[in-house]
């Protein structure tokens, strides 16, 4: 009984770490440009799929393959901003959001043509011998996933709170006009935020691939879960997005274990809906009131 | 120092600013007054590089700057305190000031920036008391002080102020204007002051321009404009019947 709960908790945290990383990607773009990037899930897919691709086709070792995949995905993110967001940057946020949906369909289609519809897997980073912990068998990969998420979260937190560039990115989201008047290049910040969140998403995809397998269409559901993580934690709050992701992962895992795995994907969204009725700004979100 | 030559600005098909020429000499406070929608904010936007001019030139120290990007204009030494202050609400007072010095990055300038920040705190002590507080929680007057302090952090030689008195209590408004005069007197700052409140603006400025539906209607020394019957009727809400 207790062992089962511990097992569900560990697997929930592992998957939740990826949701959290996806959520962080949403947060970064939202914090800089004020839009929701619905291609975020595709960045996660690209991170996983390209790691597989670089490893098997180019014969790279696991570590270099992941590094290259993450770098290329960051470039894809930057290219996306340049080619689809920058040309229409003056238009309303809803137009920009729809453009991101278009990009996500494009990336998914291209991935399908390139790699086919099969599922692929990556070998785990640090062996397969499970580590017993409170009666649960913990895969080393789970620990890797959690450790990498924690490290990235800390790094991003420091970037936004301690570096002038991070603060400048936040300033762009607060008020573009004021950011311009401070001499901040809003266009460069927007480009950088897309590259950075593609990077974060790709890391999430690469650490998830050994656990859940990957295919050209995993981005859609991961994107939705990551978005849910953001909303749950309070949109715009990086810490909230990470915690939201972990919570959603845990709820899914317990729901699948104790109720039915057929409804696995539904649990997260039901809880999200309930929360939004009670606290529309999310768990860690600030209320909308602001003095002027 | 700063001059506009026959500037035309279009918003789509609307001719928002029509052949406007004006100049601000070094160390001068020049007021630009006019009703809502006269094109005042648009003109400041053009100087700061936020709005593109349709014709004419904007000169700063003799160079045409109308095609520069906003960050290049800030680096040249022209800072703007925007309408409605636009402080970065969720960020702390201190971070707002640091972002004002965004164009002055780098290790070498760190000490300079810190010294300038202290100077802003000395000028507005209330900001020092609230430096860790989110800027959005400050009162209107405090936000205006922060917006001015933030603009000063770029070490400008010219400051553009867009309606600094808007929505403030008369006493607070007076204090803000007093600081503007002090900045000119102590630092030799050149100021272009846009106001709907013509009386306060003309009281502190050396010269003034009256902008109406995108055109300069009147210009001259501030005392003359204050005494002008048309200005009194249109912007001061009274006629000097005793004359």
**CA dihedral sign, ordered B144, B147, B150, B156:** negative
Q: Give the start-end residues of each E strand in chain B.
A: 2-11, 14-24, 29-33, 55-60, 63-64, 78-81, 158-162, 190-195, 207-212, 215-221
pLDDT digits (tens, 9 = 90+) for B156-199: 999 999 999 998 999 999 999 999 999 999 999 999 999 988 88
Residues 6+ apart with CB under 8 A from A44: A18, A21, A22, A25, A201, A202, A204, A205, A208, A218, A219, A222, A223, A226
Residue B137 maps to a domain: yes
pLDDT digits (tens, 9 = 90+) for B82-119: 999 999 999 999 999 999 999 998 887 889 999 999 99
H or E stretch at A195: helix A186-212
Residue A289 confidence (pLDDT): 45
CATH code for the domain in which residue B90 is found = 3.40.50.300
pLDDT bucket at B146, cuts 50 / 70 / 90: very high
The residue ranking higher by pLDDT, A91 or A205, is: A205
ipTM of the predicted structure?
0.92
Residue B238 confidence (pLDDT): 57
Q: How far apart are CA B33 and CA B207, in angstroms?
A: 11
Report the interhelical angle of A140-162 vs A186-212 (nearest 10°). 170
Domain A2-122+144-278 matching CATH 3.90.550: the answer reads no
Q: How far is A49 from chain B (nearest CA, A)?
A: 38
pLDDT digits (tens, 9 = 90+) for A58-113: 999 999 999 999 999 999 999 999 999 999 987 888 999 999 999 999 999 999 99
Using a CB–CB cut-off of 8 Å, the residues of B that contact A are: 48-50, 69-71, 74-75, 79-80, 82, 84, 86-91, 95, 98-100, 102-103, 105, 136-140, 150-151, 154
Residue A4 confidence (pLDDT): 87
pLDDT digits (tens, 9 = 90+) for A115-151: 999 999 999 887 778 888 878 888 889 999 999 999 9
Full domain range(s) for residue B165: 2-236
DSSP states of A11-27 as a string?
A: HHHHHHHHHHHHHHHHH
Residue A291 confidence (pLDDT): 42
Residue B161 maps to a domain: yes
> How many domains does chain B contain in total?
1
Rounded percentage of chain A residues whose pLDDT exceeds 90: 58
Residue B242 maps to a domain: no
Q: What is the dihedral of CA B200, B205, B211, B217, to 10 degrees?
A: 120
Q: How far apart are CA A133 and CA A139, in angstroms?
A: 10
Chain A interface test: which of B70, B89, B101, B163 (most A C-beta within 10 Å): B70
Q: B235, exposed or middle or buried, with CB in 10 Å at 0-12, 13-18, 19+?
A: buried
Nearest Cα residue in chain B from A183: B71
């Amino acid at each position: 009984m207790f062992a089962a709960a511990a097992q569900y908790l560990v697997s929930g945290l592992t998957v939740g770490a990826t949701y959290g990383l996806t959520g962080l990607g949403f947060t970064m773009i939202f914090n800089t440009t004020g839009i929701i990037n619905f291609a975020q899930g595709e960045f996660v897919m690209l991170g996983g799929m390209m790691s597989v691709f670089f490893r098997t086709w180019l014969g790279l070792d696991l570590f270099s393959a992941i590094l290259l995949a993450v770098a290329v995905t960051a470039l894809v993110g930057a290219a996306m901003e340049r080619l689809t967001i920058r040309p229409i940057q003056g238009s309303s946020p809803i137009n920009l959001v729809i453009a991101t949906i278009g990009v996500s369909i494009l990336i998914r289609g291209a991935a399908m043509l390139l790699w086919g519809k099969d599922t692929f897997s990556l070998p785990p980073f640090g062996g397969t011998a499970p580590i017993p912990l409170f009666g649960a068998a913990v895969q080393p990969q789970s620990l890797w996933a959690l450790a990498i998420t924690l490290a990235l979260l800390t790094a991003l937190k420091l970037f936004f709170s301690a570096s002038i560039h991070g603060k400048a990115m936040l300033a762009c989201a607060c008020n573009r006009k004021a950011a311009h008047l401070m001499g901040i290049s809003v266009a460069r910040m927007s480009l950088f935020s897309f590259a950075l969140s593609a990077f974060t998403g790709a890391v999430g995809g690469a650490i998830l691939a050994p656990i859940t397998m990957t295919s050209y269409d995993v981005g859609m559901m991961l994107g939705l879960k990551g978005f849910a993580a953001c909303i749950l934690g309070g949109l715009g709050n990086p810490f909230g997005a990470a915690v939201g992701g972990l919570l959603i992962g845990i709820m899914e895992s317990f729901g699948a274990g104790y109720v039915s795995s057929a409804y696995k994907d539904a649990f997260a969204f039901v809880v999200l809906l309930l929360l939004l009725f009670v606290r529309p700004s999310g768990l860690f979100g600030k209320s909308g009131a602001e003095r002027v | 120092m700063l001059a506009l030559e026959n500037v035309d600005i279009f918003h789509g098909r609307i001719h928002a600013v029509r052949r406007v020429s004006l100049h601000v000499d070094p160390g001068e406070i020049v007021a630009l007054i006019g009703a809502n929608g006269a094109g005042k904010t648009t003109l400041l936007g053009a100087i700061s590089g936020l709005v593109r001019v349709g014709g004419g030139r904007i000169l700063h120290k003799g160079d045409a700057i109308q095609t520069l990007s906003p960050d290049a204009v800030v680096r040249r030494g022209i800072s703007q305190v925007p309408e409605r202050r636009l402080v970065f609400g969720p960020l702390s007072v201190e971070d707002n000031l640091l972002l004002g010095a965004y164009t002055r990055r780098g290790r070498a300038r760190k000490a300079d920036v810190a010294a300038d920040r202290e100077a802003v705190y000395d000028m507005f002590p209330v900001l020092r008391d609230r430096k860790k507080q989110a800027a959005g929680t400050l009162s209107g007057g405090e936000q205006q002080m922060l917006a001015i302090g933030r603009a000063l952090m770029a070490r400008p030689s010219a400051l553009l102020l867009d309606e600094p008195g808007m929505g403030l209590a008369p006493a607070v408004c007076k204090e803000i204007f007093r600081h503007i005069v002090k900045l000119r007197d102590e630092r030799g700052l050149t100021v272009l002051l846009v106001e709907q409140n013509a009386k306060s603006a003309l009281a502190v400025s050396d010269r003034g321009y009256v902008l109406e539906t995108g055109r300069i209607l009147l210009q001259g020394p501030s005392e003359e404009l204050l005494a002008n019957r048309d200005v009194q009727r249109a912007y001061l809400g009274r006629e000097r019947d005793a004359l």
